[in-house]
Structures are given as structure tokens and as C-alpha cells.
Amino acid sequence: MAIQTTEGIVLRKQNLRETSIILKVFTRDFGKISGVIKGARGPGAAVGHNPQVFSQNSVVFYERKKSSLSTISHCDLLNFFDPIRSDLERTIYADYFMELVDTVTIEGDADKGLYDLCLNSLWLLSKPASPKRVARIFEIKLMDAAGFLPEFKSCSNCRAAIEGDGRFSLKIGGLLCDKCRGNDHEALKVSNGTINFIERIRKMPFELIDRIKVSQDVGRELEVFLRRFVDYHVGRSLKTVEFLKKVKM
């Protein structure tokens, strides 16, 4: 494969041997890639050649025929998102975004819309906006882009229209009307306010999204619902979510 140049956001990094690192990068043009940067650590390492998680970089890489790891020859910083790193809560949420993107994507599956969502969410998290609200926006947009988010206008079992509050069944994958609630006794209560917020976010362009507000009651219910929803679809509770629970953020 020829040498490729793109931009990407670092999802994960780990040390390899004494001087190298392995990066997992979500790129704009090639989707998620994993690659090795040689000489990134140690006394002789070039300044700025050791990229950090959730930084945006210009990446030059080429695939190795006999390895699942590409070779990354250059990873030049475009944005470090300093306002996020100066705040512990924002840093944890940024790490959560990276872990969630890593979990729902596969290697080599390009998705420019998802890349832009990830980048825009980091920009929004860099602003004074509530980190929790940014996280809820990110979750809704990501789950919708991944095809997990259902419609909220009718019962998933009988297709009857639903008005007002409802019950959401994770195993059925949607809202249940009063007559069908018995099909899942563990269905989550979801208020009409929460449903309306989800629908507004999924339809709203990102450039307008920082204007939207959410009440405390809807915010609390939304957090509980989306964490259950995300955990169900990824099959586990993410490490960053468990850490958020421990530090009560």
C-alpha cells in the first residue's frame, strides 16, 4: 500500500518495547487504524513525537503486508485541546468519548460523519458548556449514527402511537405503549421531556447544538437512560464510565 496522509484523533496508546508506541487512531479518510511509531520514547525521541489520547494530528502511515499494525512515520499535532486537559472532569469525558468510539467502530471502516462528530464534540467540550450535557449530546449522536437509536413516536411491539411518558425496552429496542408494557417488566421509564430532547439532538445540526438547554430533571433521567442504553449495546460498562462513577462526576 502507498504511503497515506490524513488527519486523525488518537483513541488509545500503549508503550512497545523501550522506545516505540502503538497508537490506535480514528482517521478522517481511513477509519480506525492501528500503527507503530518507532523512536517515540526515550532520550533520543523527537520533541512532540509522542501523541496523546484525544489529540488531533496530521498522520502519515503505510501498511505492513505481514502485520496488522501499520507503520506511522509522522504524527504532527494539530490540536491538543488544552482547555479539556486543564480540567479533570472534561479530561475523563474526553477519554470516555475515545473509548466509546473505539468500541463501536471497526478497523478500516471510514466514516467522515462520525469523525466530524468526534472532533466537534471535543471542540464543544473545550468550551464552558457542561461536560455532562456534551456527553449526552455525543451519546445520542453516536448511537444514532451507529444505527442503535430507534424512533420514539410509536410502540415497538404494536406500532400504536405513544403520547406523553413511555417505557423503553432495551431487549425489544424501543418504546412500549400501556397495553404492551407487560412484554418487558424491566422496561425503563422515559419521560416525554427526555424523549423530546433526544429527538431534538438527533435532528439538530452540530453548529446549532450548543444553544440547546436541558432541565435538571431531564438531564438526570437522560444520564441514567443513556448509560443503560450504551452499556446494553456495547455489551459492557466502559472503564471510563466506571471511573466516572467512582469520582462521582
Q: pLDDT tens, 66-106?
A: 778 899 988 999 999 999 999 999 999 999 999 999 999 99
Return the percentage of the chain with pLDDT > 90, whole number: 65
Segment 6-10 mean pLDDT? 97
Segment 152-161 mean pLDDT? 92
**Residue 36 has which C-alpha cell?**
507503530
Task: State the burial class of residue 27 (Cβ atoms within 10 Å of its Cβ: 0-12, 13-18, 19+).
Answer: buried
DSSP 161: B
Q: What is the pTM of this model?
A: 0.90
What radius of gyration, in Å, describes the C-alpha atoms of the chain?
20
- pLDDT at position 201, please? 94
- pLDDT at position 207, please? 87
From CA 139, how far away is CA 97, in angstroms rounded?
8
> In this predicted model, what pLDDT tens digit does every residue of 169-199 receive, in sequence order?
999 999 999 899 999 999 999 999 999 999 9
89-247: CATH, from 1.20.1440.120, 1.10.1660.10, 3.40.50.300, 1.10.3470.10 = 1.20.1440.120
Q: Residue type for 172, please?
A: I
Q: What share of the chain is helix, strand, coil (3-state, %, to 5)?
A: 40, 25, 35
Q: In Å, how far from its chain's centre is CA 185?
A: 30
**Residue appearing with cell numbers 410502540:** 155
Count CB neighbours of 77 within 10 A.
13
Segment 134-152 mean pLDDT? 92
Average pLDDT, the chain: 90
Residue 48 pLDDT more than 60? no
**Residue 30 has which C-alpha cell?**
481511513
Residue 211 pLDDT more than 90? no
**Residue appearing with cell numbers 473505539:** 102
* Ranges of each domain in the chain: 4-80, 89-247
Indicate the length of the chain as a whole number: 249
- pLDDT at position 47, please? 46
> In this predicted model, what pLDDT tens digit does every residue of 106-119 receive, in sequence order?
999 999 999 999 99
Q: Which residues, 6+ apart, have CB-to-CB distance to 218 below 8 Å?
A: 191, 193, 194, 197
Q: Are strands 20-27 and 4-16 parallel, antiparallel or unpaired?
A: antiparallel
Q: Evaluate whether the domain defined by 4-80 bears CATH number 2.40.50.140.
A: yes
